[in-house]
Amino acid sequence: MVVPRPTAPCPTAPCPTTPRRAARALAGLLAGAGVAHFAVPRPFDAIVPRALPGSPRTWTHVSGAAELALAACVALPRTRRVGALAAAGFFAAVYPANVKMARDWHHRSAPLKALAYGRLPLQLPLVGWALYVAKRAEGRG
């Protein structure tokens, strides 16, 4: 008699919940950031590149609203793929604000400078995370 070995829940392939969890976490990150743009806008106003027309507060609110919309799209399975692709583009588009923050913080203390410069390479994993979610979204073509 052969006794089956106990196996991990997903021994040979990624767990089916992993893409779902990644999508939920991405949606949560986007939603949290979007809410922060409205709840505490001043830090976001400060990193809006000066080259953009209009008031920094307007750009802060627009980017916050975009993050909330992206969060909703990523959270819903029917719109997850397009929402995650748009989130990847969004993460790339806001990179100049992170560069501005790093340049503006050159006179700050070493830990704050490290934070500002440390954010720069973190944008790439965010793009990758969004692309991962898009690639594994249900109903993709």
The pLDDT tens digits of the residues spanning 81-115 come to 999 999 999 999 988 888 988 888 888 899 888 88
Handedness of CA 140, 73, 134, 86 (dihedral sign): positive
pLDDT of 1 reads 53
The pLDDT tens digits of the residues spanning 52-87 come to 899 999 999 999 999 999 999 999 999 999 999 999
**Model pTM?**
0.80
Question: DSSP for 121-140?
Answer: HHHHHHHHHHHHHHHT-TT-
Indicate the pLDDT class of residue 14, thresholds 50, 70 and 90: very low
